[in-house]
Amino acid sequence: MFSLSVLAQVFVDGIGLSAIYILIALGFTLLFGIMRVVNFAHGAFAMLGGYALYYLYGNAGLPYLVAAPLAALIVATGALVLERLVYRFFYQKMFQSMIGLLGLDMAIMYLAVIAWNAEERSVPPSTDGLMHLGELVFPEQKLIIAGIAAVALLAFYLFTHYSRYGLAMRAASQDVDIAEAQGVNSTSIYRLAFFIAIFMAALAGGFYAQTYALSPFAGQPQLMIAFVVVILGGMGSIPGVALGGLLLGFANSFLGTFYGSATSIFVSFGAVILLLIVRPWGLLGTREA
């Protein structure tokens, strides 16, 4: 049962799932860390990313390496309209944002039902190829997803640590009033952070649709994934998101393979409940005074 080939497959699946989970959760925690917005519409944008990839790659036939980032870019650009009409009224209003954006999530989800009906669709894989390493066989699709996600996460790291706007985002996340006193335009920084967060959610949503299935309701499990990951790692902690995504991805891969999806879900939420009891600020979060 625990043969080397099966464990290797579990490891590769864990890498692919972790990459998706980290991308989904990173945008979620970015909005909370900078704007104190609990984005309960996050899963809806991930779902839209899946549909964008479905049409660009599955229907239009664009090359996958073009279609995946382009789909996320289209969703993030369109979401800027909602940033102006809805989101900016909830910045620095954590509890109000929870209720308001939950309503936005429902609105987007049922607009998607009207537009595309509720049936599930399948986004074709980028490749059906298999990689052989001796007796071990890996699906190339999982490795491509992990590779694109790694590039996106590296670009995000370099941006936040070495660019002027990235440093301004980090300053705003620490104390927006002091950042503004130093000349940071909080309105522009908020808009930029929102764009990046939705881009990563939509990119992950395309990968999720390829791994599972695509429907207007596909955003709900993705929202729960984001929430579980940020609770595990610590709300607002980017290193915590990376750790939480890795733990959840590999745990779901292992438990889902050997014990079934029900066990995987039970253990995931059981771990969150236990962590909230003994360490409510998360593994790498900061304890509030």
In a domain, 274, yes or no: no
Could you tell me if residue 224 is inside a domain? no
CA distances in angstroms from 35 to 9, 30, 95, 212, 256, listed in the order given = 39, 8, 12, 31, 35
As a whole number of angstroms, the distance between CA 114 and CA 128 comes to: 32
- pLDDT at residue 67 greater than cutoff 70: yes
Helix (H, G, I), strand (E, B) or coil at 284: coil
- Asked, for residue 259, whether it belongs to a domain, the answer is no
* Mean pLDDT of all residues in 202-217: 93
82-120 pLDDT, tens digit per residue, is: 999 999 999 989 889 999 999 999 999 999 999 999 999
User: Is 60 part of a structural domain of the chain?
Assistant: yes
Domain range holding 33? 4-218
Low-confidence winner among 103-112, 197-206, 241-250 (lowest mean pLDDT): 241-250
Do the Cβ atoms of 52 and 72 come closer than 8 Å? yes
Has residue 160 been placed in a domain?
yes
Residues paired with residue 121 on neighbouring β-strands, in sequence order = 214
Closest by CA position to 250, among listed 20, 14, 16: 14
Reported as a single tens digit per residue, the pLDDT across 47-61 is 999 999 999 998 998
Contact between 15 and 140 under an 8 Å Cβ cutoff? The reply is no
How many structural domains is the chain composed of? 1
Is residue 46 scored above 80 in pLDDT? yes
**Mean confidence (pLDDT) of the chain:** 88
Closest of 200, 196, 214 to residue 59, by C-alpha: 214
**Residue type present at position 133:** L
Res 1 pLDDT > 60:
no
Q: Which residues contact 232 (CB under 8 A, 6 or more apart)?
A: 240, 243, 244, 247, 248, 271, 272, 275, 282, 283
Residue 16 forms part of a structural domain? yes
Alpha-helix runs per DSSP H in the chain: 4-35, 42-53, 64-85, 94-116, 140-162, 164-174, 176-181, 186-211, 219-233, 238-259, 261-278
Residue 134, pLDDT > 90, answer: no
HSE-CB for 12 with a 13 A CA cutoff: 19
What's the pLDDT band for 9 if we cut at 50, 70, 90?
Answer: confident
Q: What is the pLDDT, as a whole number, of residue 146?
A: 86
Mean pLDDT, residues 239-249 taken together: 88
Instruction: Report if residue 79 sits inside a domain.
Output: yes
Has residue 248 been placed in a domain? no
Instruction: Please tell me the predicted confidence (pLDDT) of residue 219.
Output: 93
Q: Would you state the pLDDT for residue 288?
A: 62
